[in-house]
């Protein structure tokens, strides 16, 4: 995002840290290219009958609402794409920078790569299908979104709305690991055209504990 008004790093809730502009532009472009290379983005069908507006491809473990599998059980049954070592390195760096502590032991083995077109959003939910309570590391690319970060009790107030721009890092762990969160909207057209991405991508790195 625009460097004229640098946005400060902020602890949104205990264990939930927003680091604006964490990834430089070249790293963002490389990550967009990697996301383009992963194939199989699909809108997950929820047991409720709903279909997510976000399109997702998974690495390491495939997420089917609400469990993980090594195969695309809601698709053609093929094996999930591998979780690349370099993405684990990025996750460790993100965690270390967000919390200001070493994070060599952090070993994410799942990534959900979410694509939001101009109309996509994500309802308030907890990331609770993992058997580990290790932090979630989230990276955003392209259009800015409104990220709603709530409490661990329910989908409602209190929550804080944070704008996540391209290159922003958001980590939630500790007392916030099971906080409800969602994306009520993106802000279409806010991405830097030079990034070559129309819409928004978000990667959440997690430890499956599986
Ligand atoms: O797109 C985001 O920033 C959040 C994604 C998310 O919460 C999820 O994939 O579970
Ligand atoms: Fe989530």
10-206 to CATH, choices 3.50.50.60, 2.60.120.590, 2.60.40.1120, 3.40.50.150: 2.60.120.590
- pLDDT level of residue 178 (50, 70, 90 thresholds): very high
Find, among 173, 169, 132, the residue nearest to 152 by Cα. 173
What is the number of the ligand closest to the CA of 179?
A: 2
Strand (E) or helix (H) holding 113: strand 110-116
Residue nearest atom 10 in ligand 1 by C-alpha distance: 127
State pLDDT tens for residues 110-155: 999 999 999 999 999 999 999 999 999 999 999 999 999 999 999 9
> Which atom number of ligand 1 is nearest to the Cα of residue 147?
3
Residue 66: closest CA among 22, 24, 112, 98: 112
Residue 2 in this model has a pLDDT that exceeds 60:
no
Q: Does the Cβ of 204 fall within 6 Å of ligand 1?
A: yes
Residue 180 has pLDDT above 80, yes or no: yes
Q: Over the chain, what is the mean pLDDT?
A: 97
**Residue percentage of the chain with pLDDT more than 90:** 97
170 lines ligand 1 (CB under 6 A): no
Classify residue 15 as left (phi > 0), alpha (psi -120 to 50) or beta: left
Q: Ligand 1 atom closest to Cα of 202? A: 1
207 and 111 Cβ atoms separated by less than 8 Å: no
Residue 41 has pLDDT above 60, yes or no: yes
Q: What is the pLDDT of residues 111-120, one digit of tens each?
A: 999 999 999 9
Tell me the ipTM for this assembly. 0.99
């Amino acid at each position: 995002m625009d460097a004229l008004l640098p946005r400060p790093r902020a602890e949104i809730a205990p264990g939930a840290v927003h680091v604006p502009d964490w990834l430089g532009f070249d790293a963002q472009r490389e990550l967009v290219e990697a996301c383009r290379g992963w194939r199989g983005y699909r809108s997950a069908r929820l047991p409720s009958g709903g279909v997510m507006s976000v399109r997702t491809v998974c690495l390491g473990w495939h997420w089917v609402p609400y469990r993980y599998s090594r195969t695309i059980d809601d698709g053609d049954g093929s094996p999930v794409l591998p979780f690349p070592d370099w993405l684990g390195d990025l996750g460790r760096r993100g965690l270390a920078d967000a919390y200001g502590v070493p994070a060599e032991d952090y070993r994410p083995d799942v990534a959900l790569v979410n694509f939001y077109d101009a109309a996509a959003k994500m309802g308030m939910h907890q990331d609770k299908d993992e058997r580990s309570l290790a932090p979630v590391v989230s990276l955003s690319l392209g259009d800015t979104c409104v990220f709603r970060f709530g409490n661990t009790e329910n989908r409602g107030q209190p929550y804080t709305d944070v704008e996540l721009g391209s290159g922003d890092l958001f980590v939630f762990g500790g007392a916030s690991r099971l906080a409800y969160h969602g994306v009520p909207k993106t802000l279409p057209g806010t991405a830097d055209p030079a990034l070559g991405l129309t819409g928004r991508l978000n990667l959440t790195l997690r430890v499956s504990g599986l």
